[in-house]
Structures are given as C-alpha cells and as structure tokens.
Amino acid sequence: MDTVQIDQVRQFNRTVTERVGVLHDHYLGRDRPLGEARLLWEIGEEGQDVRQLRERLALDSGYVSRLLRSLEADGLVTVEPQPRDKRVRTIRLTDAGRAERAVLDGRSDELAGSLLEPLNRAQRARLAAAMAEVERLLTAATVTLDTVDPDHPDAQHCLRSYFAEIQERFETGFDPARSLLPDAGELRPPRGLFLVARLHGEPVGCAGLKLPPGAPAEIKRMWVAPRARGLGLGRRFLAELETQAAQQGRDVLRLDTNKTLTAAIGLYHSSGFQEVAAFNDEPYAHHWFEKRISTTPFG
C-alpha cells in the first residue's frame, strides 16, 4: 500500500471532520451528536427496519441501540416489533422527530452553503465534482464480494434480475431453456464457484466461474445492477475470477457474450481478453473471448 496515499487519505479525513463539525457533541448547533442526527435523517418518512439501518450504516448493534434509546427518550422516534415477527423492529419518526429532522435538513443546507460561499464559481464546480468523485470511489470501496451457493436467495435475486434485463435488451429476447446455462452444481466447489456483490448488505451483482476438468475455466452470468454501475465492479469481478482460476491451476480463462452488450465487450477487450473462434453452441452468443493467465496453484 502506498504510504503517500495513506497519508493523503488521513489528511483528507482530518480536514473534512473539522470543517463539517462532526467533532462537536452539538452537531449543527442542536442538542445531539452527529450519530443521532444521522439516524434521524436515515429513518426518513417511511421508517426503517433496525437491522437494515444498522447494515446500511455499518454500525455495531450495541451502538445503534444506545443511539435509539437516546432518541426515544427525547420523544423523537418509536421502536416497535413487527406484528408478524417480534424479532424484527421498525423505527419511525414521531411528529417531534420529523420537526427535528426538518431543522437538521435546513442547517445542513446552510453548512453546505458555507463551504461553497468563499469560493468563486469555477472553484465551486471543481469542489462539487471532486466530492462526487470521492463519494463514487468510497461507495466502490464498500462493495463486498462473497462466494455463495448459487441457490442462495441473493444469488437467485441477481440471476432473476440478470435474466429480466437481457430479456429486454437482446434482439431476440431471452429464453433460459434455449441457453447453455450451467446447472447449480457447476458453480459449486470443486466444479466452480459463484460470487455475489453486496452494497450496504444488498445484492448488486453476481458472477460465476466454471472449472470443468481438463478444460479452460469459464466465466458465466456476470451481471451488475444498474445502480452499482460505474463503480468498477465488472472489472473487479474479472480480476477475482481470474485469481480464483489461477489458484486452481488454470492457464486459460474464457467467456462468451451477446453483441448487444457493448459495454461488457469493451470491458473484456480492455482487460486483456482476445476474441477467438466459437468454442460452444450458445445460441445467444456472438462473441467468444479467451485470456491467458498465470497459474498459481495451491500447495
């Protein structure tokens, strides 16, 4: 890891925390710290499931409980178990909580304005663009990749979403019965694996790897949800699957794709894949790719 980059990140963190006032117990001049103020904003008008809120903010359950007890004591929220499952608790704003949230929103706008006001027009545009880029990269860094069973609910959610999208995008539509879909066993160790990407605990992408005996490794069913595109997740999937294939002693990685998926085709070219002759009879494929990789077998 580059120590200069680490130093720059730490300097950035110090500057931001000081400038936006998160070091104070009375955030935005109110009688609560940033943690409580942020919870009020995240709960929103519709309420939130406690577990989902905790995962969204990546907070310890004990810490969230302390924040909620404080907000409850101030009459700003209610926390109630759901009738059908007492283990699931829902947080909702009270009228006082909605009023407090409105005040915080107004003061947050004022704070944002105070950061921009001393700058000229060009500097404001640069700062806003830089903040958007930092947010995008930080979001990308929070995405996790996990190996799951292809029958896991998150895996099935991604596959259903993928099939629905290509049904709309392919000129001929998409019928799973016609495609050379791998069965679940081909995407389980030792014959393969299946990755799911999650953002704030929610599935946002998937990719499978087949490891057939005596044949090249093959990437199958790589998909990224529209809201997670632009985070470099497709390239990250390719890198991880290449690593996994190399660790299994494979020296060739291949895939096929449809001509409609132009962004994916560009990604494969830029990631070192070369177009080759068709190596299967996939009816929805127009392009076939291979990449030579360095093997790093276990042992």
217-224 and 252-257: which strand pairing?
parallel
Q: What is the pLDDT of residue 116?
A: 95
d(CA 90, CA 83): 10
Can you tell me the mean pLDDT for 236-263? 96
Residue 92's H or E segment, with its range, is strand 85-93
Q: What is the mean pLDDT of the chain?
A: 92
The tokens of 50 are what?
């406690």
Q: Where are the domains of the chain?
A: 3-118, 143-292
Can you tell me the mean pLDDT for 239-268? 96
| CATH number corresponding to 143-292 | 3.40.630.30
Q: 96-115 pLDDT, tens per residue? A: 999 999 999 999 999 999 99
Can you tell me the mean pLDDT for 39-64? 87
- According to DSSP, the residues that pair with 218 across neighbouring strands are 210, 254
Q: 161-192 pLDDT, tens per residue? A: 999 999 999 999 999 889 988 888 899 999 99
Phi-psi map region of 84: left, alpha, beta (phi>0 left; psi -120 to 50 alpha)? alpha
Q: What is the pLDDT of residue 129?
A: 96
| CATH number corresponding to 3-118 | 1.10.10.10
d(CA 162, CA 151): 15
Which residues 6+ apart lie within 8 Å of 76 measured at CB? Answer: 40, 93, 94, 96, 97, 100
- Band of the pLDDT at 250, cuts 50, 70, 90? very high
Can you tell me the mean pLDDT for 51-64? 87
Q: 198 and 153 in contact (C-beta within 8 Å)?
A: no
Q: Is the pLDDT of residue 295 over 80?
A: no
Q: What is the pLDDT of residue 296?
A: 61
The CA-atom distances, in angstroms, between 125 and each of 106, 130, 190, 230, 258 are 22, 8, 52, 21, 39
